[in-house]
Amino acid sequence: MSDADPAPAPIGDVGLTDSAARRIAWVLSQDEYKGRMLRISVSGGGCSGFQYGFTFDDSRNEDDMIIEREGARVLIDDVSLDLLRGSVIDYTEDMIGASFAIKNPQAKTACGCGNSFST
């Protein structure tokens, strides 16, 4: 992970590194994303069974958990939260590119690109 790794997220929670929080806050500060939140979801599909989804949303549903940190606002629905418990969301930049990465302790296997997993 990029910054000093945080302690693993407590069971039932999802952690957000400093790097991820800064990047999400920066994106949400751009005119086209003002007033929105980053939604992270898990759906069936992908090469390993489940796949992560990243979208922007301007409303919060009743079953959404919200993570707020340093100007970042992340939504996770109740069903996805069950598959993300204990995960840490990070943002990394290297010579190849930049991306969000999810370190998910529930993932038994993952595809090479890190966008899908199985439990």
CATH of the domain at 42: 2.60.300.12
Domain-embedded: residue 8: no
Q: In terms of residue numbers, what domain contains 75?
A: 15-114
Burial class (CB in 10 A: 0-12, 13-18, 19+), 96: exposed
Which residues 6+ apart lie within 8 Å of 10 measured at CB? 86
Domain-embedded: residue 4: no
Reported confidence tier of residue 99, pLDDT bands at 50, 70, 90:
confident
> How far is 65 from 81, CA to CA, in rounded Å?
8
Element (H, E) at 20: helix 18-29
Domain-embedded: residue 30: yes
Report pLDDT for 50. 81
Contact call for residues 35 and 58 (beta carbons, < 8 A): yes
The closest of 33, 52, 34, 32 to 42, measured between CA atoms, is 52
Domain-embedded: residue 10: no
pLDDT at 52 over 80: yes
> How far is 17 from 10, CA to CA, in rounded Å?
14
Q: Can you tell me the mean pLDDT for 30-57?
A: 87
Domain-embedded: residue 2: no
When the pLDDT of each residue in the chain is averaged and rounded to a whole number, the result is 83
pTM: 0.80
Domain-embedded: residue 38: yes
Domain-embedded: residue 84: yes
